[in-house]
Structure 1
Amino acid sequence: MLAGATNVDPAMTSAVEREARNLGYETNAAARVLRGGRAGAIGLVIAFNEIGSINGTFFATALKGAAKGLSAGDVQPVLLPADDEDRTKIPKFLRSGAVDGVVVILQHEITHLVEVLADAPVPIAWVGRPHGDIGPDPIIVDVDNHGGGVLAARALVEAGRRRIGIITGPPDMEQANDRARGWTEELTRSGIAPGPIVHGDFTVDSGMAAMTRLLQRDPELDGVFASSDLMAAGAMRVLQAAGRRVPVDVSLVGFDDVLIATTSEPPLTTVRQPLEEMGRAAAEALIAVIQGDPVDRVREFPTALVRRESL
């Protein structure tokens, strides 16, 4: 009766509903699923280790946008933290029918989920283009990473820099590869040989380690593109500790435009990707697919250079 059945005596229905209200009863969503209805919920998959740093990171802003998109669609968000070892927990949960779909905010720590979610029983919207096979007709919301790499390289060249290195992301992430390709192509077009390339994992610590390696390879570097703001913040610490002034001796450009870009000293010039809008677009596209409405399953947002004092 409480699930909305219509073949029950109206007087009995009224009496049951009245008692249910007195008891504070709420309809069980799992029971509705068992009867063939929708769960009315969508999962938000994030890297488990990001929860401790929920403010001012890449995923936090995308998560905010996704949650807003679900709320506007009258859908309950369910947070699904995933670690970098467990390959069974999330797929098992999706098979339970507790959610109608999931938004995956793709980060290096959970790239292993790309493979295990390829045959998921519910639709998936990816914030960030996954590397590898993700099944037919995927929902992907990403940014023009190649164009962002071009913007970063061009800004460094226009600042008069000629010995320019890059701290790129993990090679198993398409975003990192695209940013590095854009950087390389723009430097080559400008007649400048690309400097040393080192990899990080989009964290502050990896940016520090990568910047140390860059200086070992070319102590006279005068420009650096770090393909995330967190890595750029780590790079800045190492440069300053080495006596290399930013931007007097070395110009530094990041990528993302998250909180740390404005709180660094000096504030960081960066390539902005509209993370909140991307998260919201992924949520809205997923809701449309679940409801059977037409939708563009692949969407790419433009990037923009945000100039601050590190250039």
Structure 2
Amino acid sequence: MAYEEIKRKLRGSIAPVVTPFKANHEVDYEKQSELIEFQLENGSHGISVTGTSGEPSSLTTEERVKVMENAKKTINGRVPFAPGTGSTNHDETIYLTKKAEEMGVDAAMVIVPYYNKPNQEALYKHFKTVADSVEIPIIIYNIPGRTAQNLEVSTMARLVKDCPNIVGAKESNKDFEHVNRVMLYCGRDFLLYSGIELLCYPMLAIGGAGSISATANVEPKKVAELHNAWEEGDITHAQDLHFELMKLNDVLFKDTNPAPVKAALGMMGKIEPVLRLPMGLPSKGLQEEISETLKEYDISAQHV
């Protein structure tokens, strides 16, 4: 299977859409479809679900499959679709990745297993086994702040060398030196996405493919526009958007993602602001700050 076409297509702002719940905590598939339409109307270049913003550890395996299926149906081929299929359980990761392949997704995003803290050799074996189990492109998701383990550059490069379908990585890694070395040792055609909001613009400067930013849930148009400006060579506009988005980025990460994002979407009238325990909404004070910030950005927000 050739992967050049997906490397050409899967670029820009890949919006990691939240999983909306009803007041009774059931998954709201109708709202999920509306959120995806909101993304497409505002220029997002691709869609992901069941990544960190999608609360996958709060979903059953069956719910994760249904969320992916509903997203695939809603997108209907209009933009690339790269759902998160990883978990802390190896067999479950393979099962979900195979399910994604059966659905015809464009790529699967597989997170470094969380909580377990595997060593580098175990991580290599985990990702290689997953990649070997399917033919679809794999995007490694490295987020050491939430998995308690960093996928080292040498391990990433080894996987890219041994697994032709590992085509990229979402790096939610604040160590920008690490990110630069990933690009160097994995190759300049490696699809490198920023998962750190304040590094979305700097990542483009070193040849990154785009971003998978939780902020796109709330302000999809400007997050996508930043990438468009860079591609068009309008560096000043891209820089302006980078700094313009900074305050919104900051407030949306003053509590654990996706709690502030869901609070914001609730204020915007997009969803019921519901998370499943053990996750919960931000404090009253932070919700008020989010509300004020949305008003500053001229994003429709109801008073808390």
Q: TM-score, normalization: structure 2?
A: 0.29
- Which structure has greater strand proportion? 1
The structure having more radius of gyration, on CA atoms, is 1
